[in-house]
Chain A
Amino acid sequence: MRWLILYTRSRQVPTSAAAVALVALAAWVCNRDGGQGSTNPVTAALVLTAMVAAASVGLDGRDATLERTAAIRWLPRRAAHVLLIGALTGAALLAAQAAGATLAPTEVVLRDGAGLAGLAALGAVLCGAHLAWTLPTGWYAFAVVARLPDNTVGQVAGWMICPPGTAPSTDTALALLVTGTVLYAAAGARR
């Protein structure tokens, strides 16, 4: 337990969690309609992107060199960290929906949460934890602005704003989750 508290503190979890809660609250306030409104994958993707971006700043400790000397197995801990980011951000959005906001079907929330968490982990591996947010936000902006065509390429490139049940989009999200988690678990954030 003591280890867990210290670990969460070293990963800036209190700050990130506060930011995630703030985004969930804002999403709830802006989309509060008692579950009657229409769903919008774009808004849901933006909310999840914001949450994942806030959570991703903790994908690295304060001193990577010092951490390397610790005699613990990093691989399962790092993998769990990525999966928890995806699970908790998705849960925060679902909680906002349960409280009466309408954003997106559960399937879209799960898909986007998983894919974005993987993308953030990939960002941490490629650019470092303090720049991990660039990949999720960049891809979101690209998907929204680029007016993608409605074929397989468009469904892969715009995976996070496609309607539920789009097979290529779900596959892309899963591929991103697996790639990001595996690479981050094996290599850790870039220093």
Chain B
Amino acid sequence: MNVRLLRIELRRSVAPWPGAVVLGGSLAVLFLVHGIWWEGTAGWTAQWTTMALWTRYLLGFWWSLVVGMGAVYGLRDSRSRMAELLTTTPLPAWHRAALPAGATALALASGFGLLVLVGGVEVALGATGYLPLGWLPISLVGALALVATAVFGMGVARALPSVLTPPALTVLFLLLTSLLQQSSDGVLPSSVVPNRLALLSPVTAEPREMLLTLSGSVDLGQTIWLLGLLGTGFALLSAVNRRARLLAVVPVLVGAALALLVLPAAPRDTYVVDRAAAALVCDGPVCVTQADRSRLPELALRSKEALRVLHDALGAQAPNSVREDTQLRALSDERRLSAGVLLVDFDDRLFADATGEQLTRALVAAGIAPSCFANNAREGGGQGYVAVQSIATSWALHDPRLRSLEGVSDDPYLSDVWAEAGVAWQRLLAMPPAAQRAQIAEVHATAVSCEGTGVGSGTDELSVLAGKVSR
């Protein structure tokens, strides 16, 4: 009986719309806009956890629009001017409220669930072979957030039946979202308001570091708070008198109070490193994280060759192991390098899609002249430095002519750098072999210690190589 009623409600009301809009809109944004969500190791289809976090990030617009759509649905009775008539139905008020609330919940949960399913299929078909279960609570809280806000919107619209209620709620939630928004530019995502308050918004920071996940206390606290919001929404929806409407505020207050006790106060306890994903898997001297396990066979094969080349080029100074770079860094911060270990950052443009011989070259480059600044989709720190890395790699691999590690760019600054690199390459080859080795060793020492001001741009090393500066 109830299933039949629910089906009729879904077919004849606006209830399916929020779910359809969330699904269609998210897929349109994710697939039609080639945004940052497609880039790097924290892309939305790269890992299960990042997929869940990206769909939560999209709540940035959905949870404010969904509260408005819920309010429109909640205004149905008063818009058709039959709220008074419906109060005479011989059914308890909560019984009448349950049907539209259930229809909304079903539509939104299916819409968001299908979005996560699309993401899950993409991840499953992708390169990663790592399947954690920690992403499930992240997505479940996301679905709960949508349902709770929609029902809350319905309840508020029932209590304040004005045509202005839906836009007012939406704008209010948009404002709250932007106030509570966390930024992921720092070492750990943080916000301008106190951490506990910021976590009342279900919108997560933009995923940037693959290994970060939400801690359990965040999931628990947000669940409590959202259940409070849901309770208030439902109580408002089924309230028949002023006293019931006043009492309806209790669940959200209790939920917020309990949630503030549970939610962590520091960003350090909010986003935590997923230890299982960060555990190292090794093949001889080559180690990667569990999450990137699928890259190990190719990397191990190429590293063997690269380490041999590096040993020939640098002698005792050469790195003797290869490890995935897992440090958490603020945006545009310096990387921490060490002489004995070759750090591989899979976000780096050199390594992003490198396979085969290209991967060997990238490893040699990172071995002789590791860049102190990241060169990836978000940061362009080491772009000029690629010229120095190319010279070092071409020299170490005995290339007949200078081979660039990346495609030629039409940036006027970079073409200057490459012109200078051509001169430096000729100067280097003109030197006697022993002097060549000394030059390369000097480049290596400078690179590893991250000394000098223009390290990121590469102009310092180019001057050294071109012999302009005598040290």
User: Does B58 belong to the interface (CB within 8 Å)?
Assistant: yes
- Whether B438 sits at the interface, judged by CB under 8 Å, is no
Most chain-A CB neighbours within 10 Å: which of B68, B164, B206? B164
**In this assembly, does A71 line the interface, its C-beta being within 8 Å of a C-beta of chain B?**
no
CB-based contact B72/A54 at 8 Å: no
State which size class the interface on B falls in. 20 to 34
**Residue among B57, B65, B75, B171 with max Cβ neighbours from chain A (10 Å):** B171
CA distance in complex: A42, B175 (Å): 11
- A residues 1-26 near B (Cβ < 8 Å) are 12, 15-16, 19, 23
B44-103, CB < 8 A from A: 57-58, 60-61, 64-65, 68-69, 72, 75, 79
> Are A146 and B168 in contact (CB-based, < 8 A)?
no
Is A148 among interface residues, defined by CB-CB distance under 8 A? yes
Q: In whole Å, how far is B160's beta carbon from the nearest beta carbon of chain A?
A: 12
Q: Render A108-149 as a binary contact track against B, CB cut-off 8 A, 1 for contact.
A: 000000000000000000000011011001101110111111
Chain A residues with a Cβ closer than 8 Å to the other chain, count: 29
Among B29-37, B216-224, B280-288, the one that faces the other chain is: B29-37
For residue A82, CB closer than 8 A to chain B, the reply is no
Return B161 CB to nearest CB of chain A, in Å: 12
Using known A-B contacts A54-B164, A133-B68, determine if residue A145 contacts B60 with beta carbons closer than 8 Å. Answer: yes
Interface residue B382 (Cβ < 8 Å from any Cβ of A): no
Interface pick from A45-53, A73-81, A89-97? A45-53
Beta-carbon contact of A142 and B29 below 8 Å: yes
- CB <8 Å contact, A138 and B166: no
The residue from B29, B35, B167, B171 contacting A57, defined by CB atoms under 8 A apart: B167
- Beyond A138-B65, A141-B61, is A133–B170 a contact (Cβ under 8 Å)? yes
Please indicate the chain A residues that have their CB under 8 angstroms from the CB of B34 in the complex: 149
Residues of B150-167 at the interface with A, using a CB-CB cut-off of 8 Å, are 162-164, 166-167
A16 partner residues in chain B, CB cutoff 8 A: 164
Task: Tell which of B35, B64, B72 touches A131, judged by Cβ atoms closer than 8 Å.
Answer: B72
17 further A-B contacts with Cβ under 8 Å, apart from A46-B171, A133-B170, are: A12-B163, A50-B167, A53-B171, A54-B167, A54-B168, A57-B164, A130-B79, A137-B64, A137-B171, A138-B61, A138-B65, A142-B29, A144-B178, A146-B29, A147-B35, A147-B206, A149-B34
